[in-house]
Amino acid sequence: MLNSIYNQWKKISNQDDFLASISLGIFMISLVVIIRLIGGFQYWEWFTFDLLLRLRPSEPTDERIIIIGITEEDIRKAGTYPLSDQQIAKLINTLQQYEPRAIGLDIVRDIPVAPGHQKLVKIFENSDNLIGVEKILSPRIAKPPKLSKDKIGFVDILIDLDGKTRRSLLGSLKPENPQDYGFSFPLKLAEVYLKKDGILLKNGLNDPNAMRFNSVEIPRFFSHTGAYQKTDNFGVQSLLNFRNNVNPFRRLSLEDIEQDKFNPNWLKDKVILIGVTAPSIKDFVNTSAVKSRELPGQIYGVEFQAHVVSQIISAVENKRPFLNSWHEIFEYLWIIVWGLLGLMISGFIVSPQNSFLTTFLSAITLAIISYLLLLIGWWIPLIPSLLALGLNGILLASFFQYQRKVKAEIETRQLTIENAFTTIHNGPLQTLANLLKNVKDQKIPKDHLLQELDILNQEIRNVGENLKLDSLRQEETLLLGNGSKLNLNHPLHQLFYQVYTETLTRNLPNFITVKIKARSFDPIEDNHINYQQKRELCQFLEESLCNIGKHANGVTRINATGKNKEGFYYLVIKDNGFKQFSNYEGKGTQQCQRLAKNIGGTFKRECLTSRGTLCQLKWPLNPSDSIGQKIRQLFK
């Protein structure tokens, strides 16, 4: 596996346009980051955020919160709306008998609604656990008269650009009086409820501008929290972790209270919210984060306030997490990491189908991670990360695939040319070089000259015929200089024996003086060696022997050996002839060096101390054994 990854990295990193591919991948990531910075993904991220919240496991009903809803039936029975102060006073008096911890009146009472106004005022003055409402943002609604400031909370709701609500406003300066700081209606109810347990509302410790109850600090919303971009974060805001349940709170109607259709324990020591749950009044909050039992995509305003109360109390008493997000730097690093993963997938996986499958599985993994983190209160960027992964893992894979196709075509053509050159070099050119030398030295009779020319003619024809073969047969065969063909399906050491025997039968001048022909080739595991490498190894041996036949004057001994030693194979050709050694690197030498590099080995040719030449090719028997060394060399 490691060797495969290394080979693929080496292959793509050696391409001329590799940097262009990397640059395109980085451009894709940068584009995603820039689009997110300007808020281009806000709506999609909000949609996904709501979806993941809605897909969470169902939570138990919060028994500490009771909603007394004024229903359509209650309004018909009363004969009018709004309900009179007398009816509201009677309801509150009834509820107080069951000793709730807090009662929240989420019904506007800025002006008297006769009859019974004085009765309601008296209740306002005498009820320490009663919280009324006001609205501090435009359009403003005043608080109920005669209700002290510490018993008032605002019910303003923050709406995002898509019309949905995901944040709660907990505290803010009042626009009509910048010196007056107000708290929200649900925060005041939670404060009254927790105060009975000695838990007080204080400023945050980690964030002095935040709010906390004991050690539980409510995380503040900032202008770039989560998917939000440049959002007004006035006052103290917090993301709302809706309670995920079709029935998050127990609900009773006004008629249920009047007719005693409830268990008294449902009210004792609880937080009671009185509000309207009649569709005709249109007190709705838009949200897709929870499953609504009556209004798809909407909940009643009093339900929204109950969710905020429940979030605070549950965090303090049950350690239920608030919703938070990473710092911006970590969010964008997260996006970049997934984009780089997509780049790696497209670069290392050759098959388009496998690349798509790997990208798809990675995307599923990312979605699962995002979901699991949201369960513990962390909102991380899913949509931009998926996009960065997908663009680089799928679209860029197509670009890499096109590159590989073009490169493969070029390499095939180049390989055909190199094979043709090597075949010609080891065959006709060797004969021609010997013929030219003899003609130049005037050592060849006319009859012998004609014979040599006839041999040269036949060798050229053999090369031509071989090049006409189909690609499959060419891949599996090797044409030697003397016209013999080798089947490359045979074991490599057997091919070496055949090459040695066939080459020494060629009519090269210095082979005439050879008296000792020694050869010994150890068997070699060649499963990792392909046809082309087999061909080039055999051609290396053939050329080394031909060089002796042409240049090693007075040679009497040729020794060719192949040895397994310490994880390497040594192919060595030695002779004892006289030969002028030159530092000039011809085509043959360059091809030997290229072959050595391709199989992860080394090549050397040197003069021996007394006389003769040594030619050696060394390569690892198992390429993965030297993988560490290769990687170190790659990054030098």
Q: What is the pLDDT of residues 568-598, one digit of tens each?
A: 999 999 999 887 555 556 666 777 888 888 8
Q: What is the pLDDT of residue 9?
A: 46
In this structure, the answer to whether residues 124 and 258 fall within a common structural domain is: yes
Per DSSP, the chain holds a count of helices (H) and strands (E) of 20, 23
In this structure, the answer to whether residues 66 and 14 fall within a common structural domain is: no
In this structure, the answer to whether residues 336 and 321 fall within a common structural domain is: no
| Residues present in the chain in total | 636
Q: What is the mean pLDDT of residues 12-19?
A: 54
- In-domain check, residue 441: no
Question: Given a cut of 80, is residue 89 above it in pLDDT?
Answer: yes
- To the nearest 10°, report the CA torsion of 45, 247, 134, 222: -20
Q: Which of 619, 614, 627, 622 is nearest to 569 (CA)?
A: 619
Give the whole-angstrom CA distance, residue 426 versus residue 420.
Answer: 10
- In-domain check, residue 272: yes
- In-domain check, residue 142: yes
Q: What is the pLDDT of residue 412?
A: 66
Q: What is the pLDDT of residue 628?
A: 46
Question: Given a cut of 50, is residue 6 above it in pLDDT?
Answer: no
Q: What is the pLDDT of residue 474?
A: 52
Q: What SS3 state is found at 399?
A: helix
In this structure, the answer to whether residues 114 and 255 fall within a common structural domain is: yes
- In-domain check, residue 456: no
In this structure, the answer to whether residues 132 and 269 fall within a common structural domain is: yes
Last residue of a domain, one of 309, 325, 341: 325
In this structure, the answer to whether residues 533 and 614 fall within a common structural domain is: yes
Give the whole-angstrom CA distance, residue 111 versus residue 138.
Answer: 18
| Burial class of residue 507 in the structure, from the number of CB atoms within 10 Å of its CB (0-12 exposed, 13-18 middle, 19+ buried) | middle
In whole numbers, what is the pLDDT of the chain averaged over residues? Answer: 86
Do the Cβ atoms of 575 and 559 come closer than 8 Å?
yes
Do the Cβ atoms of 296 and 284 come closer than 8 Å?
no
pLDDT in tens, 461-494: 666 666 655 444 456 788 887 778 888 888 898 9
* Total structural domains within the chain: 3
- In-domain check, residue 268: yes
Question: Given a cut of 80, is residue 439 above it in pLDDT?
Answer: no
If pLDDT is split at 50, 70 and 90, which confidence band does 458 have? low
Give the whole-angstrom CA distance, residue 284 versus residue 271.
Answer: 21
- In-domain check, residue 251: yes
Last residue of a domain, one of 325, 341, 371: 325
Q: What is the pLDDT of residue 321?
A: 97
In this structure, the answer to whether residues 155 and 273 fall within a common structural domain is: yes
pLDDT in tens, 96-113: 999 999 999 999 999 999
Last residue of a domain, one of 405, 432, 448: 405
Out of 91-95, 139-143, 526-530, pick the least confident. 526-530
Q: Which residue has the higher pLDDT, 411 or 255?
A: 255
Residue 467 neighbours by CB under 8 Å, 6+ apart: 420, 474
Q: What is the pLDDT of residue 470?
A: 45
* Residue 219: CB atoms within 10 Å: 19
Q: Which of 456, 463, 464 is nearest to 432 (CA)?
A: 456
Q: Which residue has the higher pLDDT, 31 or 623?
A: 31
In this structure, the answer to whether residues 401 and 340 fall within a common structural domain is: yes
Give the whole-angstrom CA distance, residue 64 versus residue 101.
Answer: 10
Residue 167 neighbours by CB under 8 Å, 6+ apart: 158, 160, 221, 237, 238, 239, 240
Question: Given a cut of 80, is residue 449 above it in pLDDT?
Answer: no
- CA distances (Å), origin 37, targets 165, 226, 382, 385, 490: 22, 11, 14, 13, 62
Do the Cβ atoms of 152 and 182 come closer than 8 Å?
yes
In this structure, the answer to whether residues 82 and 113 fall within a common structural domain is: yes
Strand boundaries in 437-515, DSSP class E:
477-479, 485-487
If pLDDT is split at 50, 70 and 90, which confidence band does 235 have? very high
- In-domain check, residue 609: yes
Do the Cβ atoms of 273 and 106 come closer than 8 Å?
yes
- In-domain check, residue 562: yes
Find the CATH number of the domain harbouring 502.
3.30.565.10
Q: Which residue has the higher pLDDT, 223 or 622?
A: 223
If pLDDT is split at 50, 70 and 90, which confidence band does 13 have? very low
Q: What is the mean pLDDT of residues 256-267?
A: 96
Do the Cβ atoms of 164 and 48 come closer than 8 Å?
no
In this structure, the answer to whether residues 72 and 155 fall within a common structural domain is: yes
In this structure, the answer to whether residues 320 and 334 fall within a common structural domain is: no
Q: What is the pLDDT of residue 260?
A: 94
Q: Which residue has the higher pLDDT, 321 or 414?
A: 321
Give the whole-angstrom CA distance, residue 606 versus residue 612.
Answer: 9
If pLDDT is split at 50, 70 and 90, which confidence band does 172 have? very high
201 forms bridges with which residues in the sheet? 213
In this structure, the answer to whether residues 187 and 66 fall within a common structural domain is: yes
pLDDT in tens, 23-67: 888 999 999 999 999 999 999 999 999 999 999 999 999 999 999
pLDDT in tens, 365-397: 999 999 999 999 999 999 999 999 999 888 777
Out of 193-202, 410-419, 545-554, pick the least confident. 410-419
Q: What is the pLDDT of residue 192?
A: 97
Q: What is the pLDDT of residue 634?
A: 39
Q: What is the pLDDT of residue 472?
A: 41
Give the whole-angstrom CA distance, residue 433 versus residue 510.
Answer: 13
Helix, strand, coil shares of the chain, percent, nearest 5, are 50, 20, 35
Strand boundaries in 231-317, DSSP class E:
236-239, 249-253, 271-276, 284-286, 298-300
If pLDDT is split at 50, 70 and 90, which confidence band does 86 have? very high
If pLDDT is split at 50, 70 and 90, which confidence band does 271 have? very high
> Which residues form the domain of 570?
485-634
